[in-house]
Structure 1
């Protein structure tokens, strides 16, 4: 495999998935492989499951390619400072170092929404966009990434902005729509409140909306009235893998 390939690993609350990426095109050059995230999401168990996944990819490629890992936590200086849908035991751990030891090589370790945002700026909906792009993933919560002129500003937690006395994601995430059986129109009103607030604070040049629900974007994005364009993400399920791989060689 050429040096213009890298492995991206995306660790989530339910699954750990990975593939080899062609860094020129952003295309997967191997099938995406996935293992279940171990029950409870504890450090030793996730490390072991990730090692198993990476070993399988290494055997398939016959070499140890550059490796990026994205993770559902705020990541600073290689440490995980939060934990979303995984064990709280991760909080405060030197996670990058732990993964490097388990996987037997240097890695690039990054927040999962940041990886997705970077993927969209390199290979997706935000390619070539000048100025500020805000990616949000609408799912269990709201993940976010800020990319300014192609440069990632890490660890924005825009799902946790306080709006009308609530954590924004508690009312505007896709899980709120499901939990409260909201119609697309009623949910869109909450999204309007949320994105209008983001626009007021940041004046972005583009919003990109990811998460599984973005495949139904025609039901809610046209209902939003914003100054900046708002478009669906291109790489929904593979965004974390792509972004992690692309950052592995930086």
Structure 2
């Protein structure tokens, strides 16, 4: 019998959610999406999350009652509290996101950094499944999100997109947004990625590097241009990764 969890992914422009088959790492129903309120203050976002949660868990019948919710958030999350705020209102800083959303939804909630959730999903079901040792997942998008896993266990809130590389915050030069903003060719961008991933190699000696974000769908245009000692592969779960990873972590936290 399949075990079902629920994942909700809070982003700067959209809030997405779906039920998840926790054994297969797959969505069991169509992903729902609502625009992120603007301004994205805590109370406004909590109302949208509550509405999504009600719709998703309601569709599960009795199985949805009291089901733990996994929620991703674009911030450093320390014991449920946001310590930063990326692409959401600064009022989130210092907010106990976990308590706020639990009260709004009436469900147990486990909140996790968005890149960390994606990393867990890739380790359990995607490109890093079965890989022992050190795995680094980097999502290349508006910025660079990272997840560090050791033997499949998450080391949270690494924020390695902010490493200083060549005198610059790495994500200001090597993110996909930087590539688009500066109209770089993939060859030009690959030189920046080489410097960034080379720095990660020197610090962590990973066994595998996984590249996520929407641009990973075009990985053949830039990954072959990199000369690294570490195998580097594209992510597999794409835009489902955050929802899946959050649902899995919430279920584990609840002991189900």
TM-score > 0.5 by shorter chain: yes
Match of 2:239, SS state, is coil
Q: d(CA) in 1 for partners of 2:42 and 2:68?
A: 22
Displacement of 1:86 in angstroms is 0.5
Partner residue, 2:26: 27
Q: d(CA) in 1 for partners of 2:57 and 2:96?
A: 24
Give the RMSD, CA atoms, in angstroms.
0.9
Match of 1:86, SS state, is coil
Q: Deviations over 1:166-213 (max 9, x none)?
A: 101000000110000000000000000000010011000000000010
Q: Deviations over 1:99-122 (max 9, x none)?
A: 110010211110000000000000
2:178 aligned to 161, 165, 176, which one? Answer: 176
Partner residue, 2:115: 113
Q: Deviations over 1:83-106 (max 9, x none)?
A: 010001000111111011001021
Unmatched segments (≥5 aa) in structure 2: none
Q: d(CA) in 1 for partners of 2:38 and 2:95?
A: 19
Displacement of 1:66 in angstroms is 2.3
> Contact between 2:139 and 2:146, CA under 8 Å: does it hold in 1?
yes
Partner residue, 2:232: 230
Displacement of 1:76 in angstroms is 0.3
Q: d(CA) in 1 for partners of 2:26 and 2:174?
A: 32
Q: Which runs of 4+ in 1 moved over 2 A?
A: 63-66
Partner residue, 1:45: 44
Partner residue, 1:220: 222
Match of 1:140, SS state, is coil
Partner residue, 1:241: 243
Give me the TM-score of the superposition, normalised by structure 1. Answer: 0.98
1:92 aligned to 87, 94, 97, which one? Answer: 94
Unmatched segments (≥5 aa) in structure 1: none
Number of matched pairs: 249
- Mapping of 1:140-219 within 5 angstroms? 140-219=142-221
